[in-house]
Structure 1
């Protein structure tokens, strides 16, 4: 059997990540012509064009798209295997892409401060935020995700878990909404409003519905959107009210109108449970110095923004 040059693995990983011979060459410290020759070798080895011209850029073939995640996973494992565990981590020269899986609200409010913290310490590190349509542990288990942010509903013995903060739900409506003025916000008045619900699937029932059911009340849900940021956008431009984590309002005091956003928060007229937001990762990432640094950075940014005992964001 012909021997395969395993150096091609790293080149393929970078080429599929960049979809550009020039950018891939820059990342690997090669000339553009050398990178072009490497792509030719990869095409010969795989029997596939891998990257083809589309306008002024390159796009992956179906075979390259199918290979991308597996190549990235194997490349990372190889780098971890061959990196001496005693070598100190040099953040100034660290070149890596860390993938964080989180919902849209986390990305909305934490992507910028996290980018700032990461760039300040490791300017060559890249962040990738992956969507979170469900709570399947497969991406963590398979190494496609480095860290996940979410609420742990059930024991996760295989995963490592660290608590970030506690959050709770509030209602939001546009400034000037009739519900917010005059009479007290009662369960009956609240339920009678038109509502926007947040759910990534068809299971749109939210925390407040159980409390309303106990009183014989039901929300009038007019529209269902994938996430909290979408719900806030709808509430801002309509007479619908939304249910969101307290921290979706940033640092505006509870009950105070958020002038910039055109929204005002209010306490729910029925009790709803608080929830704990956690960071999760697979045990195989425990001792990797770069992974440890990345986890510590994410956890520090979250806790600095919302110290324990205060509302966080989910």
Structure 2
């Protein structure tokens, strides 16, 4: 079954409102003959004359009277669907956003973000889920609304990105550790025992690559998948953890941190989202607050 010409709904709405072919034609910038042809098509589609002559004018049939309110609402709703949303009613916004992050983001930025969002929109909820890889499938299928992290080769080419903050690696030891005092040198750093961090369980990483030109190697006695367990081990042992500074601020509370005594490239932590949410007013509002809270906590 073929669909009727839905443009006829607009014509019908104007005809029922004006009860005049000539006036309806002027409103829609059509000629009277074109409007007469449109009325003929409407009569054929509905099986009803809709407007009939009464003296020098036209009057609606009972079917037209019954359709008038329904057609008017349909045209109004259709126009609203196709019109850009120019104002977001935050007080009435009821939505749950799923944000995928590595550990450290929630601890350092989560409370500030929640406070900001709920001050504007008390009906908004956040669902934080752990980030175990850099695969973009969750953004594509809509199960993830927003993601934070370092952009990698596996990031989908269509994914939108925006930088949030720059970070650097620091060494971290427990309070009272031998490395907590005295001058730090590459040799002294490398000679300590270390906890490695790799989501894939690899034995080597960027820190080891940076030590290699100096002829130095770390002794990695344990490898974990994230910053939090690495810092927990360092807090309770003689191990050294090497983690991003800003991303782990609260996780390192009470521990001794020191700049690495050799060059390491900085990290750029970004937020990522799918293009279908690019123009969504609520998502734009969320992204703006994520940017602001990261900027504030990074100062």
SS in 2 for 1:92: helix
CA distance in 1, matches of 2:254, 2:238: 12
1:264 maps to 2:263: no
The equivalent of 1:117 in structure 2 is: 116
Q: Does 1:228 align with 2:227?
A: yes
Give the alignment of 1:89-128 within 5 angstroms: 89-128=88-127
Residue 284 of structure 2 corresponds to residue 292 of structure 1: yes
1:244, distance to aligned residue in structure 2 (A): 0.8
Aligned to 1:169: 169
SS of the equivalent of 2:242 reads strand
Any unmatched runs of 5+ in structure 1? 1-80, 252-257, 308-314
> Which residue number in structure 2 is paired with residue 129 of structure 1?
128
Q: State the 1:210 CA deviation.
A: 0.9
Deviations 1:78-102 (A, max 9, x none): xxx9696436211111111001111
Secondary structure class of the residue paired with 2:118? helix
Distance in 2 between residues matched to 1:249 and 1:273, nearest whole Å: 17
Residue number in structure 1 paired with 2:40: none
TM-score, normalised relative to structure 2: 0.68
State the shift of 1:126 in Å.
0.7
Asked whether 1:207 is paired with 2:199, we answer: no
Q: C-alpha displacement at 1:203, in angstroms?
A: 2.2
- Per the TM alignment, residue 180 of structure 1 is displaced from its structure 2 partner at its CA by 2.5
**Which deviations, in whole Å up to 9, do the C-alpha atoms of 1:184-232 show, x marking residues without a partner?**
3222221121111122221242321112122222111111122112211
* CA distance in structure 2 between the aligned counterparts of 1:298 and 1:180, rounded to whole angstroms: 34
Change (3 A) 1:290 1:248: closer
Which residue of the partner structure matches residue 160 of structure 2? 160
CA contact (8 A) 1:105 1:227 kept: no
Q: Which has the larger radius of gyration?
A: 2
CA distance in 1, matches of 2:126, 2:106: 11
TM-score (norm 1): 0.65
